[in-house]
Amino acid sequence: MAASSPSNSSLQPLSTAENDLQPFFVLHKASHHGKDRTSAGQGKPRKRNKLSLRSPQSANNPEGSSAEECDPHLCQKTQIEAFDIVWAKIESTIKDVLRDLNASVFNNIQQWVMECFNTTRLVGEPSIAEATRSFPVLNNTTPLKVYSALVITRNIEFVDDIMTFEELGLFLKSHGCHVAMLSSMEFSLKNGIAGCLKALLREFLGSSFDPSDIQTLASWYREQDNYNKPLVLMINDLERCCGSVLTEFILMLSEWVVKVPIILIFGVATTVDAPRNIFPSHALECLCPSMFMLVTPAERMDAIVEAVFIKHCTTFNIGHKVAQLLRNYFINQDGTITSFIRALKVACLLHFSTEPLSLIQGRVIVEDEVRNSGLSPETMLKYLEELPSYARNEEVDQTKKSMAEGLSELLTVQKLWSTVVLCLYEAGKYSGVRLLDLFCEALNQVLYPSRDSVCSKRDEKDHGLSSTNDPCQQYSIMQSGGSICQIVRKVRDLPSGKLDQLIESWEELTVDISEIHEKLKILQSSVRCKDGKSSRRNSKDISKRGVSKGSIHNDKDSRMSNLHAIAFLDDLVRNYLRPIEGIPFHEIFCFKNVEKLQLVLIGDPRRRIQVDLLEFHNILHCSCCNKSGKALLPSMHDSSIMYSLAQEHGDLINLHDWFQSFRTIVLQHTNKRKQKPKQTPLPKKRKDMSGSEDQNDASIQARFCRGVTELQITGLVRMPSKRRPDFVQRIAFGI
């Protein structure tokens, strides 16, 4: 009895964890643990704290500490909590970045809306009697044009436009506008003009009216004291609307523009000429268009990469191959930010589900939000002591201290890497280099030059072994190729004015990094010295020798300044551009399993179906299938039995043989329990038995037909043809 108490205490967290189902949990457990769960559940369950509220002193409790470290469900739950914290931070950062990118355009649209509204009110406010009439106000001063804005989104798909227009609607509502947003489905030929009016009233009034009439909207706008606010109608995708229905809607709005001064905002994904391709000439005459341009998807992507991966809003990072996969997924899939964010979330989830030590990142974010401080070795040591995979004993104290220092050094190296990438990107803006391309190249560990190889190349050049006359070729950064080489070549050809602006921007980026900032000061002093000499020499040359000599000297001095800038970049790349995959303990923060991510994003559904059908016991974990191994049993699923039997056939499967084999497996358990009769049964009972056998065969045939249909739907077999009605064809072979 005394020996049973520790076992019950070790199973105590298991019963609590199984009551709270989370992802990555086993769907079905074996039945032999039932009694242990019942006995453990009778005790008082120990309360588990959240990840963000867990105290360091909790690890000092010797009772139940081994159960925490060995309980996989508790580890998985803690990893999921850490993922929720990290992804919430990443998602909020992305939303803030997109909101900041659209802020200037939203302000311009809001100012334009107020100008259009004030211009419309110059006509005069209609009286209550005029506003409640069932026909529009018609006089010579009535403006017949409807103010409309064309917001050029430049997106291939309208998925990103939905989120952008939702933000625009909230922005206009916060500035005192009545905002309604209709989709292109409301302007379909099926709905007609009546469907448009019903949707319009539902957006503005909060309820639909039958029959729908614009007079209802005019009365609401005048009687409810809403006349002091502009009415804004947003249509997020102009190209998808039915042209005839939208034309009739615009003509109606132009007649009621005095009573209902609706201002239209269209989302245009292609070009400014899209309205001319949709509306006839008499509808275009009723519009007074203005154009607003949003940032391109590539610019949004660069801003997201800078905030998430370069400036590191969290400690989560990705490897070189994963970055290339996400880049290709963004460019080749549909070019939308939504798909990239979804793929990034999958990568983050896979990292936290496969790396046990990744839960440190959740504690890091909580610590930064509370104290707003970096990671010291003492802080990292405290986090390591709380990990379930580390036991608290004196033998591993020195190991954990060295590991804490290594993790702290990793974050320091990453900060230096980020500063170098930002300096390169600032120079790359003059040559049109995208940050996403530069980010993928900066993560490539193969292109990272070692100091020994660079020094040997410089020694060869010093001894005259180099055959080139270009002084820029002595730097290894010019020989790497790719985006970095393109940036350096542009810096070599920059004029002195732009070079000074670039150095000033570098000074702002490196002000917090003393190691790089000191080298930048040396560069600034050398450039200013060259500029001072060139200015004095220029004044002497103009007074004595003429302009041509002075221009030659100025060109030499300017070229020397550019060479100093290239030397500065070369030093940064050699010493500080160290990819995260080459740093110890990077597995905790960096996800680099590109095969698993590619399988999730692109997928191989047919192979996954085959594996699930043949290895279903790994998912169900039932006792009968685990004991039987690969033997087929009647308790298995019909589709699994049939697909396992199909492996014995070639390209074609005979339906009769397939059914007989399936029938043998299904009736296997029944035949074992059937006993041989001692006496000859009566004819009446024999008739009853034959009827039950026919009924049993009919149910087996129905199950067989359903199984064939399921395999045909999943794309594993092809149904019989008229030419060979007794055979089905296998489509998928191998796994």
SS3 232: strand
383, part of any domain: yes
pLDDT tens digits, 206-249: 776 666 678 888 888 877 667 888 999 999 888 888 989 999 99
Q: 461, 475, 458, 466: which is closest to 564 by C-alpha?
A: 475
Question: Which residues, other chains included, contact 129 with Cβ-Cβ below 8 Å and sequence gap of 6+?
Answer: none
Mean pLDDT of 489-505: 90
pLDDT digits (tens, 9 = 90+) for 692-734: 566 588 899 999 999 999 998 888 888 888 888 888 888 877 6
Q: Reply yes or no on whether the pLDDT at 426 is more than 60.
A: yes
- Which residue range forms the structural domain that includes residue 367? 297-448+577-603
- Quick: pLDDT tens for 444-492: 888 765 433 444 444 444 433 333 445 555 566 666 678 888 998 999 8
Q: Are residues 268 and 414 in the same domain?
A: no
The pLDDT value recorded for residue 386 is: 55
Got the DSSP string for 445-509? STT---HHHHHHHHHHHHTT------GGGGSGGGSS-HHHHHHHHHHHT--HHHHHHHHHHHHHH
Q: Which of 273, 294, 315 is the last residue of a domain?
A: 294
pLDDT band at 263 (very low <50, low <70, confident <90, very high): very high
Same domain, 289 and 333: no
**Looking at residue 53, what is its pLDDT?**
35
User: Has residue 389 got a pLDDT over 70?
Assistant: no
Give the list of residues 6+ apart from residue 553 with CB closer than 8 angstroms, or none.
Answer: 534, 537, 538, 541
User: What integer is the mean pLDDT of 518-524?
Assistant: 90
Instruction: Specify the pTM.
Output: 0.71
Query: Could you give the count of Cα atoms lying within 13 Å of 312 in the half-sphere of its Cβ?
Result: 23
- With contact defined as beta carbons under 8 Å apart, do 197 and 214 qualify? yes
Q: How many helices (H) and strands (E) does the chain have?
A: 33, 10
Please state the rounded mean pLDDT for residues 257-281. Answer: 86
CB 102 within 8 A of CB 164: yes
Q: What is the pLDDT of residue 336?
A: 83
Task: Give the confidence band of 376 by pLDDT, cuts at 50, 70, 90.
Answer: low
| Residue 431 tokens, joined | 């040559």
* Boundary (domain end) residue, out of 268, 294, 320: 294
Residues 139 and 225 in one domain: yes
Residues 22 and 3: beta-carbon distance below 8 Å: no
Which DSSP string corresponds to 531-578?
Answer: HHHHHHHHHHHHHHT-HHHHHHHHHHHHHHHHHHHHHHHHHHHHHH--
Contacts of 71 (CB under 8 A, 6+ apart): 13, 14, 17, 388
- Is-cis flag, bond preceding 6, omega within 30? no
Cβ-Cβ contacts under 8 Å for 45 (sequence gap 6 or more): 12, 13, 15, 16
Domain boundary among 294, 318, 347: 294
Which pLDDT score, from 0 to 100, does residue 97 have? 94
- Position 32 in a domain: no
**pLDDT interval class at 368 (50, 70, 90):** low
Asked if residue 528 has pLDDT above 50, the reply is yes
Q: In this prediction, what percent of the chain has a pLDDT beyond 70?
A: 67
- Residue 209 lies inside a defined structural domain of this protein: yes
CA angle, 216 as apex, 212 and 221 as ends, to 5°? 140
Same domain flag for 152 and 208: yes
Answer yes or no: are the C-beta atoms of 208 and 185 closer than 8 Å. no
Q: Is 612 domain-assigned?
A: yes
Whether residue 49 has pLDDT greater than 70: no
Is 91 within a domain?
Answer: no
How many domains does the structure of the chain reveal?
A: 3
**The pLDDT of residue 129 is above 70:** no
Q: In the predicted model, what is the mean pLDDT of residues 19-38?
A: 38
Q: Are residues 315 and 443 in the same domain?
A: yes
Q: Report pLDDT for 67.
A: 43
Please compute Rg for the chain using Cα positions.
Answer: 36
pLDDT at 341: 92
Lowest mean per-residue pLDDT among 66-80, 471-485, 499-513: 66-80
The one-letter amino acid at 414: Q
107 with 170, same domain: the answer is yes
Q: Are 201 and 332 in the same domain?
A: no
Q: Please compute the mean of the pLDDT values over residues 533-543 and round it to a whole number.
A: 48
Q: Is residue 177 part of a domain?
A: yes
Within a domain: residue 35? no
Considering only 249-263, 332-346, 678-692, which range has the smallest mean pLDDT? 678-692
Same domain, 206 and 320: no
Average pLDDT, the chain: 75
Residue 337 lies in a domain: yes
Once rounded to an integer, what is the mean pLDDT over residues 255-280?
A: 86
Residues 397 and 301 in one domain: yes
Same domain for 175 and 286, yes or no, is yes
For residue 63, pLDDT beyond 50: no
Average confidence (pLDDT) over 549-563? 67
Instruction: Tell me the mean pLDDT in the region 652-659.
Output: 91
Residues in a beta bridge with 264 = 148, 233
pLDDT value of residue 379: 57
What confidence category does residue 442 fall into, taking pLDDT thresholds of 50, 70 and 90?
Answer: very high
- Residue-level pLDDT at 310: 94
Q: Between residues 673 and 152, which one has the greater pLDDT?
A: 152
- Whether residue 182 is found in the same domain as residue 316: no
Interval 299-356: pLDDT, tens: 999 999 999 999 988 889 999 999 999 998 888 876 788 889 999 999 999 999 888 7
Q: What is the pLDDT of residue 526?
A: 83
Measured distance CA(495)–CA(558) in Å, rounded: 7
Residue 150: which CATH number?
A: 3.40.50.300
Position 115 scores a pLDDT of: 92
The answer on 592 and 612 residing in a single domain is no
